[in-house]
Structure 1
């Protein structure tokens, strides 16, 4: 018997408390009572023969050694969970697949097509998690992600899906019969928070020198940029495939026919530990076919 091997429940409680910074939050995550989590911490301290936390009133602060211990356990517990899930689903297909995706891409491109996947693979339950910034596979409960950016993601497989071009658009009321440079000075340039140099890149691409290219109202989501542009707040740079219905309805109009290809692209990303996952691979193959179909950007 391994006498220095703690209970996995004790380890899970300890790791969750350090990660959440709170017994209360850890208990809620683990579906346990606070007193039960506290008892587990006590068991682990007894086994290790040392205190893991400095207790100051109602606050627990992990010792430096405990913090390092928790960081090591986080990776090990994840590996145990993945291995167990793989064993439970051995020889079977289906179950849940949690995929991270960009909010506007998810609502405007992925969800309208998702029923095709669900109809072809009814045993796989898709859970979509949206976030504008990069996902962290080690700390977030996702198996794969649809990502826009450079082709760099350590310890992950990246499958190229498609590129992106952006066009300059505005509400019809802002568009006048004047030179483009003059028109752009008549209203603010709506900025996308995570792509702060996009206007500068587009202006260089079309050969216009307009001061204040990084000034203007800022929005984190493309969906908000679209709404702001339709409301006449200013000019916007947007991926054309995300605003086809607004262009068709004349709610937005292009102020230039020049589309700028972006250096980054869309990728399907998953950690090395999921390379043998049936669900991850099936969804990735479907996604690749959809993005390379004739109507992919329609």
Structure 2
């Protein structure tokens, strides 16, 4: 299918003239003649059947249609230039991979391990963007995502990375004061909830044999695990958090685990990507590296 896209030269001439407000100055920027720029833009206007500039005595002024086109054309040209530079700099061996990530997973697990990926694949640039819920890849610039949930994302393929177990965490002071001697003692404290895991406390109560469904649902809700961890450190309450996300805090003594009751989940972390990108080399390299990292103890 033939795309309905004007020539790149015409779009570059339009962008330069729009930014400079002059065919003459645009021609200087592009190292072509003024008549060449004028001819390219006239041809573009005829092809689109719309006026892009008002030709004033001393300058050019964008029409509403011209401003609308410029807002779309400039990012597209930037992306095209970036793609060409990626290809040239990597000599076809790499590229830029846009990855959507769950934020606390990225900061606590992914980013600390990334130096080994970059050493192994120096021609791949890995950009990270926050994503908490599934989305339509076709409506974003993302190439893949690390998702917590089930592998039922329409139009995608996925690979299991790791599960998680969660534990109750508290301020170490509560352990020292012996205020948490049995699981039922959590009812004496504020229970902090994570917005996307609203049933964590209810499930932990069931695991611990605590019959208090109403108490499991009360308490403040925070969106990010990092916020909850800080709130627990500040003594604002108790929380059920994935052990691997707070392992460093437990190790350095800023958080404590009062009970060795580990709550497992049917959900897990998956790498998810659009089916058409399955064989794209940077994604294959990331997939292999994540598989190795997730298998490490």
- Assess same fold via TM > 0.5: yes
* TM-score, normalising length: structure 2: 0.70
Residue 196 of structure 1, CA deviation: 1.0
User: Aligned-pair distance for 1:43?
Assistant: 7.0
Secondary structure, counterpart of 2:112 in structure 1: helix
1:137 is aligned to 137
Determine helix, strand or coil for the equivalent of 1:190: strand
* Other-structure match for 2:275: 272
Residue 258 of structure 2: aligned partner: 255
Matched residue, 2:114: 114
| CA-CA distance at 1:113 after TM superposition | 0.6
- The residue number in structure 1 matching 2:215 is 212
Contact preservation (8 Å) 1:192, 1:219? yes
Distance in 2, Cα, partners of 1:192 & 1:134 = 18
SS at 2:215 equivalent: coil
Distance 1:42 1:264 in 2: 54
Task: Work out the CA distance in 1 between the residues paired with 2:47 and 2:92.
Answer: 37
Offset at residue 178 of structure 1 (A): 3.6
Aligned pair partner of 2:244 in 241, 256, 273: 241
In 2, the alpha carbon distance for the partners of 1:213 and 1:42 equals: 65
Structure 1 vs Structure 2 CA RMSD: 3.7
Determine the C-alpha separation between the residues in 1 that align with 2:46 and 2:171.
64
- Which position in structure 2 is the counterpart of 1:171? 171
Contact 2:134–2:153 (CA under 8 A) maintained in structure 1: no
Give me the whole-angstrom Cα distance separating, in 2, the residues matched to 1:44 and 1:227: 58
Q: Give the drift of 1:255.
A: 2.2
Q: Which moved more, 1:145-154 or 1:209-218?
A: 209-218
Q: 1:45 to 1:199 in 2, by over 3 A?
A: farther
| Alpha-carbon displacement from aligned partner over 1:60-111 (angstroms, at most 9, x marks no partner) | 9xxxxxxxxxxxxxxxx9xxx8xx98xx689821121111111111111111
If each structure's helix is expressed as a fraction of its own residues, which one has the higher value?
2
In 2, the alpha carbon distance for the partners of 1:283 and 1:113 equals 12
Contact 2:157 2:274 in 1 (8 A): yes
Q: Deviations over 1:140-176 (max 9, x none)?
A: 2111111110111111011011111100111123341
Residue 276 to residue 91, structure 1, CA distance change in 2 (3 Å): farther
Q: 1:132·1:221 contact (CA, 8 Å) conserved in 2?
A: no
Matched, 1:162 2:144: no
Partner SS state of residue 105, structure 1: helix
Q: Which moved more, 1:136-145 or 1:157-166?
A: 136-145
The secondary structure found in structure 2 opposite 1:254 is coil
TM-score (norm 1): 0.70
Counterpart Cα distance in 2 of 1:177 and 1:219: 23
Structure 2 unaligned blocks of 5 or more:
22-41, 51-63, 66-75
Q: Which shows bigger deviation, 192-201 or 111-120? A: 192-201
Give the drift of 1:44. 8.1
Match of 1:23 in 2: none
Structure 2 residue corresponding to 1:222, chosen from 201, 225, 238: 225
How far the C-alpha of 1:207 sits from its partner, in A, is 1.5
1: distance between equivalents of 2:222 and 2:45? 47
1:198 matched to which residue of 2? Answer: 200
Contact 1:135-1:145 at 8 Å conserved across structures: no
Task: Mark the CA change 1:283 to 1:42 in structure 2 (over 3 Å): closer, same or farther.
Answer: same
CA distance in 1, matches of 2:47, 2:187: 65
In structure 2, the residue matched to 1:73 is none
SS in 1 for 2:145: strand
